[in-house]
Structure formats: C-alpha cells, structure tokens
C-alpha cells in the first residue's frame, strides 16, 4: 500500500507541476486524497480506490459532509465495476473481490487543468482480473454547487460481455439522522429484497420479496413503513430497490436534512442507471448508514444471478460491453443549503442550464446553475 501511495504521489506531483488552486493533496480519516474544489464546494477523492470521502460547502462553519463524520467508518461514494455484489466461490478463488476491482485499485491521475471557469481532473484505473480500464473525469465550474462526473469503461477482451456497474453512494450520520432526513426519487415500481426466513423477525424490519409502491414498504409485522424517513436506530438492516421512471430521460435521487437545511442530489442518465438500490443500516445514532446506489441492476447480487434474472419489471438488469470497445456514463451531484420549510423533493430536472428541485406542497424550489450538459 505504501509503495502504491508513493507512486501515486509522484505521478500527482508531475501532473500538478504548475500551481493549481483547485486541486491539492490532503488526507481524510488517514487516507490520502486529492482535494478538488471551487469557491463553493470541496470534494475529497481517495487516491486508493477513487472513493469520494468528503463533500463540504466551503462557507459552512460546521463542514457537514453527506458522506458522514470523518472520524467514523466511511463508505462515501465508490464505483462498483465490473461487479456489484458478492463474488461467486469460483471468482473469490480467482481473487475477484465483491463490488468489482475499481474501488480497491490505485487510481492514476492522468490530467488536470482549468479552461476558463471550469476545472477538471482525470483518473485512470486498471482492472487486471476482468481486463478492463476505467477512466473517470471530474469537472467543477466556478460559482456552481455542482460536480460533474464522466466515466468510460474499456474492454481489452475480444468478445462481448455483460457488465455490472453501480455508483455506491452512502449517506451517513450526522447528516443522516432519524426523522430529519428524507429520501426522494422518481420510482416507477419498487420491491423489497428477498432474504432468509430466519432473518425476518431478528434482523429485518421489512417483509421479504414484496413489490410495493414507493415509499410505503411492507413490514414483517404487517402494515407499511414510509421508507423516505430514517427510523430510530434498531440494529436492523433492509434493502429495497426501485425502477427509475422509464418515461424520464434523467433519473435522480435526493437526501434532504430538514433540520440542518442541507440537500444532496444526484442526477444521472436513466438508460445508463435504470435502478436504485436503497440499503439501510441503522446501528446507533452515530453509526447510521444508508446506501442510495444507482446502477445497472436491482440488487447487489453475484453476476450469475443477475444474468439468470435477465430482466425485472420489463427493464434490463445489466449492460453490454462490446468486444475491444468502450461504454460511457455521466452523472452530476449537487450539495446545497435547502430552503426553510422544505420537507420533500417532488421533482428534480434540468432546464436551460439550471437544476430545479421542487417541494410543490410548500411552494418552494431551489434553482442552481448547471452549465455543463448532461
């Protein structure tokens, strides 16, 4: 690990030979990061695995990050490719980890620079076991509370293959707190995860393998729970998945803390990420985690299981990567102060270079400049 880190820092130093105020080396929870920023936001990108470990508003005295307290365990946001879920016994024997290789490999910074008011940094990570290369670029524009992420996955094999790809976003305490944190998304159809019957009354709050209409998920004990809200810590964990509304070109998910007036949002191309898995782990008040993972498949399961499923709710559950070819994805994230009185996000859209997030009942809307197309 130390040799990898030294190698990265040397390559980063070469790329950063000229002074770049928007990109600096730093640490978060004793992990080496590149701090990517403008006048509004600062994002910490881990040099080992490319995880997004911290996101803060630069004028926020509390330095609240939606990814959680940096002194606690951090999931942050990492990419699961090629693989989303556990490996099979044979894959494990061959050394393939769960959730793919990208989040465990060293990321090489290949370029950085600023053109006009837009700063960019590009990383490349080799995936030797699946013989792919992932290239990911981050962009940030002066004056905007938005970060844009462009990715490219290249196959080095001479045959077409199905790909499992998810963006493993996890929000955590203190941003994630009971009753104050609400999650919204444009779900067309939703379903709880199937789990062993022995876990139903000991480890699970939600009933197994049941379709429902978001956000009212069926409970093991009967009735429903509004899963927009985080319940008080109980030590239980649950998973649900939602198909993003197929009538939309762009999908989205938001996490709004009404007490702290902080709003995190992601907007992504629905055809690239048709599903959102919502996993919930509420151990203690200081160890609350919630995954809002948008990707190619409904649940994080081994690839054979995904391929055997073929489709769900009439939607695809994997994506093809053609032989010796590349596929791409794009998404953006925004982190901004919410308006007083906002309790729900009914819609998020991009119109004329602006992100619009609406709470229709409260007749409130946030508008953010988003100058790069998606």
What is the pLDDT at residue 234? 77
The CATH label, of 3.90.1150.10, 2.70.98.10, 2.60.110.10, 1.20.120.50, for the domain at 2-342 is 2.70.98.10
Alpha-carbon radius of gyration of the chain: 20
* Strand partners of residue 45: 34, 52
Give which of 64, 90, 99, 74 is closest to 277, Cα–Cα. 99
SS3 content of the chain, % helix, strand, coil (to 5): 10, 50, 45
Residue 206 DSSP symbol: B
| Total-model pTM | 0.93
pLDDT in tens, 119-141: 999 999 999 999 999 999 999 99
pLDDT in tens, 203-239: 788 999 999 999 999 999 999 999 999 888 877 778 9
> For residues 146 and 140, is the Cβ–Cβ distance under 8 A?
yes
Residue 199 DSSP symbol: G
> For residues 67 and 75, is the Cβ–Cβ distance under 8 A?
yes
> For residues 110 and 50, is the Cβ–Cβ distance under 8 A?
no
Rounded to the nearest angstrom, the gap between the alpha carbon of residue 110 and the centroid of all alpha carbons in its chain is: 23
The number of residues making up the chain comes to 374
Provide the residue-wise pLDDT of the chain in tens; the chain has 374 residues. Answer: 455 454 555 455 555 544 479 999 999 988 999 999 999 999 999 999 999 999 999 999 999 999 997 666 678 999 999 999 999 999 999 999 999 999 999 999 999 999 999 999 999 999 999 999 999 999 999 999 999 999 999 999 999 999 999 999 999 999 999 989 999 999 999 999 998 765 555 578 899 999 999 999 999 999 999 999 988 887 777 899 999 999 999 999 999 999 999 999 999 999 999 999 999 988 888 889 999 999 999 999 999 999 999 999 999 999 999 999 999 999 999 999 999 999 999 999 999 999 999 999 999 999 999 999 99
Give which of 167, 93, 166, 94 is closest to 131, Cα–Cα. 94
Q: Please state the domain extents for the chain.
A: 2-342
């Amino acid at each position: 690990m130390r040799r990898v880190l030294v190698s990265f820092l040397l390559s980063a130093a070469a790329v950063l030979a000229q002074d770049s105020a928007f990109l600096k080396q730093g640490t978060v929870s004793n992990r080496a990061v590149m701090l990517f920023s403008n006048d509004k936001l600062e994002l910490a990108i881990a040099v080992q695995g490319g995880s997004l470990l911290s996101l803060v508003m630069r004028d926020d005295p509390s330095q609240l990050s939606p990814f959680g307290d940096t002194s606690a365990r951090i999931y942050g946001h990492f990419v699961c490719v090629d693989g989303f879920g556990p490996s099979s016994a044979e894959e494990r024997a061959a050394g393939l980890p769960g959730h793919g290789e990208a989040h465990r490999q060293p990321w090489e910074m290949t370029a950085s620079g600023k053109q006009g008011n837009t700063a960019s940094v590009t990383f490349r990570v080799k995936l030797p076991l699946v013989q792919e290369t992932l290239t990911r670029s981050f962009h940030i524009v002066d004056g905007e509370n938005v970060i844009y992420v462009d990715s490219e996955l290249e196959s080095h094999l001479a045959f077409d293959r199905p790909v499992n790809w998810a963006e493993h976003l996890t929000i955590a305490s203190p941003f994630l707190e009971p009753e104050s944190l609400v999650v919204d998304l444009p779900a067309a159809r939703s379903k709880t995860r199937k789990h062993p019957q022995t876990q139903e009354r000991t480890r699970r709050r939600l009933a197994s393998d049941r379709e429902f209409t978001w956000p009212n998920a069926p409970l093991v004990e009967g009735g429903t729970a509004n899963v927009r809200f985080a319940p008080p810590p109980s030590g239980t964990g649950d998973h649900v998945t939602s198909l993003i509304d197929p009538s939309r070109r762009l999908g989205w998910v938001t996490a709004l803390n009404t007490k702290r007036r902080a709003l995190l949002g992601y907007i992504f191309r629905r055809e690239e990420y048709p599903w959102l898995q919502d996993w919930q782990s509420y151990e203690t008040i200081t160890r609350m985690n919630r995954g809002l993972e948008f990707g190619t498949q409904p649940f994080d399961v081994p690839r054979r299981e995904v391929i055997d499923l073929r489709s769900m709710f009439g939607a695809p559950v994997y994506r093809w990567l053609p032989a010796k070819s590349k596929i791409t994805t794009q998404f953006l994230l925004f982190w901004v102060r919410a308006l007083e009185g906002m309790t729900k996000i009914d819609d998020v859209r991009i119109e004329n270079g602006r992100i619009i997030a609406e709470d229709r009942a409260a007749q409130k809307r946030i508008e953010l400049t988003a100058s790069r197309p998606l």
